[in-house]
Amino acid sequence: MPARAWRLEPVATLHPAADGELQVSPELLQLFTDLLIPKNLHLSLATLLHSRGLADPIRARQFLDRNDRTLHDPHLLPDATGLIARLRAAGEEGEPVLVVGDFDADGLTGAAIMIRALRAIGAIAEGYIPQRDGDGHGIPEGAIAAALEDGVELILAVDCGTADRARVAEALEAGILVGIIDHHAVPPEPAQAAWLVNPNRPDSIYPFPHLAGSGLAFKIAQGILADHPQRRELLAELSVLAMVGGIADMVPVANEFRVIVRSALKVMNGAGTMPVGIAALLRAAGAEGPYRAEVSGFTISPRINAAGRIGDAAPALALLTTDDPAEATELATLLEGINLERKELTKAAIDDARALLGLVVGSSRDAARAFLGDGLVAVRGPWSVGLIGLIAGRLSEETGRPALVAHDDGSGAPLRASVRAPKGFGVAAALQEASDLLIRHGGHDGAGGCSFAIEAWEGLLPRLSATCAGQAKARTPELTVDLAAPTGSRSPIDLAALADHLAPTGMGNPEPTFLLRDIPLTAVRLVGDGRHARLTLSLDGAAVEAMAFGRPDADQLAGSSIDLVVRTAQRTYRGTERIEVHVVDLRPAALGEGV
């Protein structure tokens, strides 16, 4: 594994006392006292808050207070007032509404939120989800036909639609109004929908523009349920769906989304009633509480996504909108099976891709279908469009460089590709540089997608590789460390307690990293076919086990003292809660001086 520099966050929140020791500022000390935070955690927690830019006591209080319920006014969203009024009217009249979502976790949960909220106010709401392979993203042609057949005069597009000018115009010509609830980029000439609720509009004044489609659907639901007698219970239930969609779409766990996630976790842990479909999905997966935010990304979202990745996403939407426990159990079992199939297909596809690239012992690179450059690996094959992003992610992880994986069905049709890259690479910028060879492209720093003619394969890949190689030269691998855990307060229990105060964690608020200095490594056992190392550490006189995934080289350090950067993870297995220590990086203690 390439060596990384370790950068320890400064501790400007703290200041020297008369005896030269660091102490917590009086304002934070009062806050910690008010929130009943144990005294032995004060200094470390103040340091962690500073590393997240939360040294200000007012911001720190809002961040730490588990009872904070601050949600922005949904009417601040552009066009929200008009759309909320129209949907409330649909509820009063018992009007049919067709809710069109996307086939990923954000689109499905967003559609489910709107369907459930509309049904709660009396509307007849049904869903329509496009096929990944046949329809792609956006409002599908079939949705217009379905609305006409059923006499529906209002379509609600969730997590899609902003750029669908032609489809929205088609609906309008047919006498169907379209409302859009979306978070994707707004083009210079967006779809002329009756209502375009999108915080990325140039005229938007919404305070937190980072909500995903499901989060925006939750805001509209907040508006249409404003005077419902069960408003609090319904919104608590819907917050679970908003959490799942937002975490899947990598929304920062900050501002009001942090409030939504907190609400969802309280509901899931017994303070309310979660959707019966989510409860059934957790049972089918064998997940045990107490639930934390990671259950959304690692357990719930993959099962919701699985259906749309390898087939029809309709069962996932049915699961998220049913109130029948028996139906939910049946659908959850179905999705569990589909997810297992997705795992098997993904593994086989990754093995095929490795072989085409010549990365498997005994194989040689297929020059026509695989590219291995200084800045990029690329491969094309007949794999499902729903799997190519997963394949690209694994190849990028294994090779340490960006990976492009394209769907090639052998027909000569344009290739659809997904790109994934390690931290520090700009995928969107690389695709933009080669845009003259692309039909469509988009993305952000770590991921992107594009389509291009098969004839462009040979010319495109060297250009992308050169761009990514240039980015790599400017990229300095660095590991940010949040806290050098002090002796006497660095047991797994202490570290997990600190992490709990920062929870819920996720994008924009990652699990904290802790530096443990000069720790005796008393034993190492290789596990997982020799790919991982289970360490036994002597930590302040106690034996502590830690897992170093992908670090079999740790075996060479047994019997010496090491410096480690670690995170904690809390798991429940067969009713027993345990704290795990996961190694992020390690090195001989002698190399850690000055960190």
Domain ranges of the chain: 5-65+480-592, 74-334, 365-473
Of the ranges 45-49, 134-138, 485-489, 496-500, which is most confident? 496-500
A 10 A CB-CB count for 579 gives: 16
105 forms beta bridges with none
**What pLDDT, on a 0 to 100 scale, did the predictor assign at position 572?**
84
Q: Can you name the CATH fold of 5-65+480-592?
A: OB fold (Dihydrolipoamide Acetyltransferase, E2P) (2.40.50)
Q: Is the model's pLDDT at 122 over the cut of 80?
A: yes
Q: For residue 67, what pLDDT band results from cuts at 50, 70 and 90?
A: confident
pLDDT band at 20 (very low <50, low <70, confident <90, very high): very low
Whether the CB-CB separation of 456 and 367 falls below 8 Å is answered with no
In the predicted model, is pLDDT for residue 10 greater than 80? no
Question: What's the CA gap between 63 and 59, in Å, rounded?
Answer: 6
pLDDT value of residue 477:
66
Range 189-214 average pLDDT: 95
Q: 3-class DSSP state for residue 568?
A: strand
Average pLDDT in the 548-563 region? 92
Q: Give the pLDDT score at 476.
A: 63
Say if residue 444's pLDDT is above 80: no
Q: Taking residues 519-538, what's their average pLDDT?
A: 93
pLDDT for 12 beyond 70: no
- Per residue in 423-439, pLDDT (tens digit) is 878 888 899 899 999 99
Whole-angstrom distance, CA of residue 539 vs CA of residue 100? 54
pLDDT of 491 > 60? The answer is yes
Give me the pLDDT at residue 22, please. Answer: 53
Residue 509 has pLDDT above 70, yes or no: yes
Query: Two tokens at 477?
Result: 């691998």
User: What is the Cα–Cα distance from 155 to 195, expressed in whole angstroms?
Assistant: 11
Q: Is the pLDDT of residue 365 over 50?
A: yes
pLDDT, tens digit, 9 for 90 and up, residues 289-313: 899 999 999 999 999 999 888 888 9
Does the structure show a pLDDT above 90 at 380? yes
- The CATH architecture assigned to 365-473 reads Roll (3.10)
> What is the pLDDT, as a whole number, of residue 13?
40
**Taken in order 507, 388, 240, 339, is the CA torsion positive or negative?**
negative
- Mapped onto helix, strand or coil, the DSSP state of residue 573 is strand
User: Each residue of 140-162: pLDDT tens digit?
Assistant: 888 999 999 999 999 999 999 99
Whole-number Å distance between alpha carbons of 518 and 533:
19
pLDDT on residue 293: 94
Cα atoms in the Cβ-side hemisphere of radius 13 Å centred on 553: 10
Nearest in space to 181 (alpha carbons), one of 209, 165, 161, 166? 161
The chain-wide mean pLDDT, for the chain, equals 90
What are the C-alpha distances in Å from 405 to residues 242, 369, 382, 447? 30, 10, 10, 12
Q: What is the mean pLDDT of residues 365-394?
A: 93
Please compute the mean of the pLDDT values over residues 221-246 and round it to a whole number. Answer: 96
Position 37 pLDDT exceeds 90: no
Confidence of residue 487 (pLDDT cuts 50, 70, 90): confident
Highest averaged pLDDT of the listed ranges 30-34, 100-104, 243-247: 243-247
SS3 332: helix
Q: What is the mean pLDDT of residues 88-99?
A: 96
The class that CATH gives domain 74-334 is: alpha beta
Which range among 7-16, 50-59, 453-462 has the greatest average pLDDT? 453-462
**537 vs 52 pLDDT, higher one:** 537
Whether 74-334 shares its CATH topology with 365-473 is answered no
pLDDT band with cut points at 50, 70 and 90 for residue 134:
low
35-43 contacts at long range (C-beta below 8 A, 24 or more positions apart): 35/61, 35/64, 35/65, 37/64, 37/501, 38/497, 40/489, 40/494, 41/489, 41/494, 41/497, 41/498, 41/501, 43/14, 43/486
Give how far the C-alpha of residue 476 lies from the chain's centroid of Cα atoms, to the nearest Å: 25
Q: What is the mean pLDDT of residues 259-272?
A: 94
Distance (Å, whole) CA 129 – CA 308: 9
Judge residue 590's burial from the number of C-beta atoms within 10 Å of its C-beta, 0-12 exposed, 13-18 middle, 19 or more buried: exposed
Q: Is the pLDDT of residue 225 over 70?
A: yes
**Which of 9-13, 187-191, 335-339, 355-359 bottoms out in mean pLDDT, i.e. has the lowest?**
9-13
**50, pLDDT greater than 90:** no
Q: What's the pLDDT score for residue 16?
A: 42
Q: Cα(100)–Cα(111) distance, rounded to whole angstroms?
A: 7
CA 22 to chain centre: 37
Please tell me whether the peptide bond between 16 and the residue prior to it is cis, using omega within 30 degrees of 0: no
Is residue 19 very low, low, confident or very high in pLDDT (cuts 50, 70, 90)?
very low
> Residue 548 — very low, low, confident or very high, per pLDDT cuts 50/70/90?
very high
Q: What is the DSSP secondary structure assignment for residue 511, as one 8-state letter?
A: P
- Per-residue model confidence (pLDDT) at position 205: 97
The yes-or-no verdict on residue 70 having pLDDT over 90 is no
- Identify which has the larger pLDDT, 576 or 464: 464
